[in-house]
Amino acid sequence: MFSRLGKRSRRQWLEEEYTPFGYGQKRQIMMSIARFCQINRPIGGYYFEFGCHGANTMRMAWDCFHHLFDWSYVGFDSFEGLPEIQAIDQMKIWEKGKLKTTEEEFRRVVTRHGMPDEKLTTVKGFYDQTLTPALRNRFLPGGKVAVAYVDCDLYASTIPILEFLKDFLQTGTVIVFDDWNCFYGDPERGERRAWREFCQRNPHLRFEEFVRTSEGMSFIHLGPPPQP
């Protein structure tokens, strides 16, 4: 057990060093994307976020992007926490219903932070049920995706996300995986496995590694190869 002093010291370290380190790593990815998209402009369209618990990432995205780009922001989430955990995604930290932020609370936090309500769209439901051709057709008239931020932790949840994204890719789309090193960095689990299998199913799609941190990984969609 920590002593009273030890608990206070640990809490102070978490607040002053540990938590800001994680925040800074995520912001490094976001600001790197802002620089990339500004250098390679125009890259327009949507910021898609899959996994919106806490609204922290959506607020950071708004802070890093809205001064430069007139994007629309879409948050996809069950808003009921994690789904039933399948065998391949079993891990002590995951359990059904964990990481829940309600849709109402998410919208309230983001708009209070400064994002205009008309800039924010939310799609409620588990991905295997909501990421349908009908939903794709609803969004495609608004353009392609500039940034897709995948923060869903689980292999089973990442699969339908990547299939949904195919029709929204353009040259310069950046895909970010927030939990790249979850499951101890095992390439046969989580977002890593879903990404590898997606690339194997779609060899015509070309991607280049972009920014990597201790937690996250990002890729740039290159588009078709140049003609000789």
Residue 174 and residue 164 in contact, taking contact as beta carbons nearer than 8 Å: no
Judge whether 189 lies within some domain. Answer: yes
Please give the pLDDT value at position 173: 98
Assess if residue 164 is contained within a domain. yes
Q: Is 2 within the bounds of a domain?
A: no
Q: How many independent structural domains does the chain possess?
A: 1
CA separation, residue 129 to residues 77, 98, 133 (Å) = 11, 19, 11
Quick check: is 86 in a domain? Answer: yes
Tens digit of pLDDT at every position of the chain (228 positions): 444 555 678 889 999 999 999 999 999 999 999 999 999 999 999 999 999 999 999 999 999 999 999 999 999 999 999 999 999 999 988 899 888 999 999 999 999 999 999 999 999 999 999 999 999 999 999 999 999 999 998 999 999 999 999 999 999 999 999 999 999 999 999 999 999 999 999 999 999 999 999 999 999 999 888 877
Is position 178 within any domain? yes
Rounded CA separation 54/105 (Å): 9
pTM for this structure? 0.93
Residue 108 maps to a domain: yes
Q: What is the predicted pLDDT for the residue at 2? A: 47
Look at residue 7 and tell me if it is in a domain: no
Range of the domain at 152: 46-221
Cβ distance 156 to 83 under 8 Å? yes
Q: Which pLDDT belongs to residue 226?
A: 80
The enclosing domain of 175 has a CATH number of 3.40.50.150
- DSSP bridge partners of 73: 47, 120
Confidence at residue 1, expressed as pLDDT on a 0 to 100 scale: 43
User: Does 25 fall in a domain?
Assistant: no
Rounded CA-CA distance 222/228 in Å is 16
Using CA atoms, how far apart are residues 190 and 188, in angstroms rounded to an integer? 7
